[in-house]
Structure 1
């Protein structure tokens, strides 16, 4: 039985887990769905009396029997790439067929997923994640989603300190003049800075939490790995992604109520893995601001090895995990 790793050609995070599985002698098959159909091909069949697909994935160097997959590590697969003869509407149609065909067959694999893409999709919608977290007993900041400028101004004026945090709702960054995507960092916003352009789409504004530090909490099944993130630069204190060189990390414990809420949240979304971001106030309160069902974890040096081992345990099937794919 094989661990199937679905990711792009350059994924140092997946490399850590693959190396650990190789050291244990666990068979691993790495594929990038983006190679379909130019390099990767699929043939799958289900009978009139069957309940699962039989078939194989044929890669550049070797084949994989889809019936021999024990677990799937769904990391960062690339987009489907098609022949130059396909462009515009034809390429869009081919991509939709590929997602439904190859993606659909893979999605039926009844095994442990880290995580199943359908679970990632549900947990990755910020309004859904925030509401679910609140129902699970976790504390979230006061949040407004609106495209009405006046409502945004009023919301900010009524917040402590009359300042809000603005952060994009989605993961797709807009493109600049050169066509390359650019980052949308978290920013501090005052009411006077809200313009009528807010009306053009949905925007998320949150209560600004004066923080003592942030916590990146990585969850693997029922195991919690938490680290305080202390940022020395002003830019990183607003958004830690702007200046990783300014960070220091310190493994920490998770308060009981937070741990209980996190485990409940994982169960509701049926996730085996997630990376969550918390702002910890000077009074010690933990405020959840992000649920990343496919977030990075290897950037905290002290937790890199234990998280790698926990992921390998789960993929190998040696961890007695609670959550299963429904």
Structure 2
């Protein structure tokens, strides 16, 4: 029985888990669904007599028997690479058929998923994640989502510090002149900086939390791996992603109330894995700001090995 890893060609995070499974002698098949249909051939069958899909995926170097998959590590598959002759509506149709066809057959595999893409998608919708977190007893910053500039200004003016954090709702930023998306970092905004361009789409504004430090909490099958993140640069104080070189990390315990809320939150979404971001103020209150159902974890040196082992345990089926 094989662990199936679904990810693109360059994924250092997946590499860590694959190396651990290889060291244990656990069969692993790394596959990028983006190779379909260019260099990946899929054949799958189902019938009234057999209620699960049976078939093979034939790649350039290896084949995969769908019936031999024990677990799936769903990381970061590439977009489908279609035939170069396809463009416009034809390409859109072909990509949609690939997503439902190959993607659907893979999603129907009855095994351990880390995590199933359907569950990732639900937890990755920020308004849903924040509302669910509050119902699970977790604390979040005051948050406004609006396309009304006047409402945004009024919201910020009423905050204790009269400063808000603007954060993009999605993971993909707008495209630049070369067509490639660029990152949208968290920014501090005041009411007088809000322009009428807010009416062009939905925008998220959150109460600015003066933080003592940030927390990255990684959860694997209920196990909690937390680390304080201290940043020295001004830019990283606003958004830690802007300057990883300025960080120091300190593994820490998780308050019992946060542990309980996080377990309920992940249980609600059916997640076996998630990386969560908290801002901790001077009074020690943990404010949840992000739920990343497929977030990174390898950047914290002290937690890299234990998280890798926990993920491998889950995929291998070790109690």
Deviation larger for 285-294 or 50-59: 50-59
Name the structure 1 match of 2:281: 281
Name the structure 2 match of 1:301: 301
Name the structure 2 match of 1:145: 145
Contact 2:172-2:183 at 8 Å conserved across structures: no
Whole-angstrom CA distance in 1 between matches of 2:108 and 2:159: 46
Deviation larger for 178-187 or 155-164: 178-187
Name the structure 1 match of 2:162: 162
Deviation of the 1:48 alpha carbon: 2.4
Whole-angstrom CA distance in 2 between matches of 1:318 and 1:59: 29
Name the structure 1 match of 2:315: 315
Whole-angstrom CA distance in 2 between matches of 1:22 and 1:262: 31
Deviation larger for 64-73 or 48-57: 48-57
Name the structure 2 match of 1:182: 182
Contact 2:153-2:191 at 8 Å conserved across structures: yes
Name the structure 1 match of 2:226: 226
TM-score by length of 2: 0.99
Name the structure 1 match of 2:110: 110
Deviation of the 1:172 alpha carbon: 1.3
SS in 2 for 1:10: coil
SS in 1 for 2:199: helix
Name the structure 2 match of 1:93: 93
Name the structure 1 match of 2:33: 33
Deviation of the 1:2 alpha carbon: 0.3
Superposed CA deviations along residues 210-229 of structure 1, whole A, max 9, x for unmatched, are 00000000000110000000
Deviation of the 1:186 alpha carbon: 0.3
Whole-angstrom CA distance in 2 between matches of 1:293 and 1:80: 22
Name the structure 1 match of 2:251: 251
Deviation of the 1:93 alpha carbon: 0.4
Superposed CA deviations along residues 103-124 of structure 1, whole A, max 9, x for unmatched, are 0000011111110000000000
| Residues 1:268 and 2:268 are matched in the alignment | yes
SS in 1 for 2:280: strand
Deviation of the 1:41 alpha carbon: 1.1
Name the structure 2 match of 1:235: 235
Superposed CA deviations along residues 122-149 of structure 1, whole A, max 9, x for unmatched, are 0000000000000000000000000001
Name the structure 2 match of 1:322: none
Deviation of the 1:178 alpha carbon: 2.2
Superposed CA deviations along residues 49-71 of structure 1, whole A, max 9, x for unmatched, are 33111111111111111111000
- How many residues in Structure 1 have an aligned counterpart in Structure 2? 319
Output the aligned Cα RMSD: 0.6
SS in 1 for 2:10: coil
Whole-angstrom CA distance in 1 between matches of 2:96 and 2:176: 26
Gaps in structure 1 of 5+ consecutive residues: 320-326
Whole-angstrom CA distance in 1 between matches of 2:229 and 2:305: 18
